Amino acid sequence: MNVPDELTSDEIRKKHNQTMNQSPLYAETLQKIGRNVVEFQKMEGMLKILLASIDSDTVSGEPKTLPANRHELVSKKTLGTVSRDLLEKIFSEPLEPGQLSHGEKHRLSYQFRIGGSSEFVSQIKESFDKIVKERNELIHHRLVDFKPSFDESCERLISYLDSQYGRLEPLLDFLRKEMEAMCEMQAMGVDLLKQVTEKNVQSERTCCDLPG
């Protein structure tokens, strides 16, 4: 199908009339659509950061190189997939820590996990599953069916968006809390490894200074 390079005068007039006939609630509706979409993007970003960083392995104070495609693979996951993958992992039992390899003096491995009752875990997983479905419903159906010229359509969407926002924010708070806890654990681990490394270096220097 050929697409004209320029709009005809009738098409321009039609688009102008459509704009002029928009509901007075249209601007508020757009603002709340944008608010929710941005919050969903924040959620997806935090989920991906957590999933890519939930486990780590550090040797002699220097981070080991992660598999080259680890962050890249996580970045390609959809919101639903990254949500399920993270929640399955974060509530799982940690694996046995790795052992020092030949020539390694210090090694710090961490696996960030969350404990909780089976009811709590089920509730969190169900809440994330529902909000992901709501996100897809908003993007693929609610916005497609939205009629900006009608007050009733704007009012229905505004009501839905406000209700959705109320369910979304507690989950964002949950992710923020876990990200803060993970960052604190990482900082403590790195600081501990640094102290141990410096202490051992000092001990080696002292031994070298002792008379033979």
54 and 89 Cβ atoms separated by less than 8 Å:
yes
Burial of 68 (0-12, 13-18, 19+ CB in 10 A): exposed
Position 198 pLDDT exceeds 90: no
Burial of 3 (0-12, 13-18, 19+ CB in 10 A): exposed
Q: Which pLDDT band, with edges at 50, 70 and 90, does 80 fall under? A: very high
Question: What is the average pLDDT across 109-116?
Answer: 84
Question: Model's pTM, two decimal places?
Answer: 0.73
Average pLDDT, the chain: 80
Per-residue pLDDT, 116: 86
Number of H helices, E strands in the chain: 7, 3
